[in-house]
Amino acid sequence: MKQINLEPGMLYDGSQIKPMWAFQRLGLKGSSIVSWRGPMNIQPDELIDYEDVGLEIKSDEMLHFIIEHFDAQPADMRLCYHRQRILVMIVQNLLREIGIITHRKGDDLYCDGGKLSVSIASCSVSSMKIHFAMNITTQGTPENIKTAGLMECSENLDMLKVSKLSDNISKTYIDEILDIEEDISKTRVF
């Protein structure tokens, strides 16, 4: 599984969840995890979660992850949601290690009662996609939702530590997926 960190600043507008985005935009072929810091503003025509129709989904600065898997053909929505939950639990554990205590509800993380993250999983004919992002600050988030930002959840966090956190999340996710693959290959079946 390939991993790449992009330069800060790219807007997440929902189009990045489309299949083959990493290949078409970045030339990254195969299963991958792409991360970057940047704003989010999802337009209504890019929404894929029916529960989000009519809601504002935006933030001035988030830590984004786009994951695409090609290892199950046809793509499997249930497997994709399982992987999304694995990712969220990895993030929760890594946040705890740096002193940020969160509460998980499904695929969302909350800090001090404020919504810290957004996430969606989706499938195409050829791949499974996950978008996961955390607010770095609460600036630019919807006024009608109590939100949290990484900087507000920890007094010791700076952008260097956010970058290190991003790398740790990507590496830990890749290691977990590879470990599962290795366990599958060494297990006797009947």
82-93 pLDDT tens trace: 999 999 999 999
Quick: pLDDT tens for 107-133.
999 999 999 999 999 999 999 999 999
Closest CA to 35 of 156, 175, 162: 162
Return the closest-CA partner of residue 133 out of 187, 183, 61, 79.
61
Query: What angle do the packed helices 77-97 and 159-186 form, to 10 degrees?
Result: 130
Q: Is pLDDT at 49 greater than 60 in this prediction?
A: no
Q: What is the dihedral of CA 37, 38, 41, 46, to 10 degrees?
A: -60
Domain spanning 2-186, CATH architecture: 2-Layer Sandwich (3.30)
* pTM score, whole prediction: 0.93
